[in-house]
Structure 1
């Protein structure tokens, strides 16, 4: 019975969507509401934030973690915009008032819609895009990068694959056998030939620091940035100087 319940309700343990964000302009100066169209016909809410005080030659695609909605990433977007970078914040299906139900396949379609917006509507070439993925979002953008290479990747608190995190939190369950959504980050990362920076907190209680280090060690030449004492949801890992500088560094590389 326990295994049956774990199989049936596992996505409720992985995805934690919440309701609609406030209007973009009330949260970030200059931000505007945009709509992303997915390959399976969904329309997703997103915010486009132009760069301020710079040439605006590079855009940052931000892929959220598994909880909250895009307004929670507004401090990061604002900090990057002040450094002259354009930013796209978006919510996955089922998040932020969007239609649909989240899944690994669905999130892959969602991030492709975000990429398509930046390339086809905002006019950024692939070599002018930086992908930033937060936790689960790190796996989402890495899968995208394997097919649509960016200028560089910043992976914040990444795991090697979802089963590894599951085994850490649920050691009594046969996690790998049960999982529907696997997010094999390091498998996809092996196909990426672009600069990679991994930022993680040494006191992360959600994704163990050892997993993030393993992600960095799996890529020759990757840079690992450890933030001492930082837990998974600490402000230092939201818009701290190490995070902002990692993105700016790749944007200027």
Structure 2
């Protein structure tokens, strides 16, 4: 009997090791989901749009879209979530420029035809390159808008370079917390290479914070978004019935109003 049990235990151990090893090795392919090749020219998306090149501190040249508005009262740095490319955020740029705000749509390294591979440290450099571009190009007060994972990116930036306002759309408290919600059978916090501690950074960001989230979010538990707002001492705006990728959370009235209210 003992001889039969031991091989079974060994097989179980091997399976666990393989599962954990695969999760560790492939985690960034699960976290970062770029899609499509290089987007079209900015001018083909919105009249007056410009293609911009962002120079990162580690030597990458990233393509982005800049939509200037004459006489703009502020400029909005839009940090996207973990999927797609900047073309998906064009409706938000259209809505914000129509309200007198200049907009920069960032694509991270590895996204939208850009070189490099995304990591937490790399995205921190990318968003700083985006801020540097706006500071040099506009001289305007800056607002940061982060979508989901992008909320963590701009919250971290706001600690070092506070904006006049910070809008976080569907933020998670940290990457391990949202990972644990989807993979409760894995020791996510031990496995992750990237932390993205949104709540921790938002709490010391030194700027007014508004959190917008959907009550039916199936990707980021709504309680995590509310926790970020609480940690930041900010305002929470719940969009009833909205799921994570619903259009109303892209350029809906609550999202646009949250940005314009801080401008």
Same fold (TM > 0.5): yes
Query: Aligned-pair distance for 1:120?
Result: 1.6
Q: Please tell me whether the aligned partners of residues 51 and 83 of structure 1 are also in contact (alpha carbons under 8 angstroms).
A: no
* Runs (5+) with no aligned partner, structure 2: 1-17
**Helix, strand or coil: the match of 2:136?**
helix
| CA RMSD across the alignment | 0.8
Residue matched to 1:87: 103
SS at match of 1:225: strand
Q: Output the TM-score relative to the length of structure 2.
A: 0.92
1:169 is matched with which residue? Answer: 182
State the TM-score, normalized to the length of structure 1: 0.95
- Name segments (4+ residues, structure 1) moved above 3 Å: none
Instruction: Please list, as runs of the form range in 1=range in 2, the aligned pairs for 1:1-253 lying within 5 A after superposition.
Output: 1-18=18-35, 19-51=37-69, 55-124=71-140, 128-220=141-233, 222-251=234-263
Three-state SS of the structure 2 residue aligned to 1:111 is helix
CA displacement at 1:188 relative to structure 2? 1.1
* Preserved contact between residue 158 and residue 206 of structure 2 (Cα < 8 Å): no
Q: Which moved more, 1:238-247 or 1:14-23?
A: 14-23
Q: Bigger shift: 3-12 or 183-192?
A: 183-192
Deviation at 1:122, TM superposition (A): 2.8
For the residues of structure 2 that align with 1:230 and 1:169, how far apart are their CA atoms? 19
Distance in 2 (CA, whole Å) between partners of 1:189 and 1:206 is 20
- Measured in 2, the distance between the counterparts of 1:147 and 1:63 equals 16
Alpha-carbon distance in structure 1 between the residues aligned to 2:86 and 2:33: 13
* SS state at 1:218 partner: helix
**Hey, what's the Cα distance between the residues in 1 that align with 2:206 and 2:128?**
19
Q: Secondary structure at the match of 1:29?
A: coil
Structure 1 runs not aligned, ≥5 long: none
| Rg comparison, structure with higher value | 2
Deviation at 1:192, TM superposition (A): 1.4
Q: How many residues align?
A: 245
The question of whether the paired residues in 1 share the 8 Å contact of 2:77 and 2:131 is answered with yes
Q: Is the 8 A contact 1:51 1:80 kept in 2?
A: no
Measured after TM superposition, the shift of residue 59 of structure 1 is 0.2
CA distance in 1, matches of 2:26, 2:207: 37
| CA distance in structure 2 between the aligned counterparts of 1:192 and 1:41, rounded to whole angstroms | 27
Question: Equivalent residue of 1:211, what SS?
Answer: helix
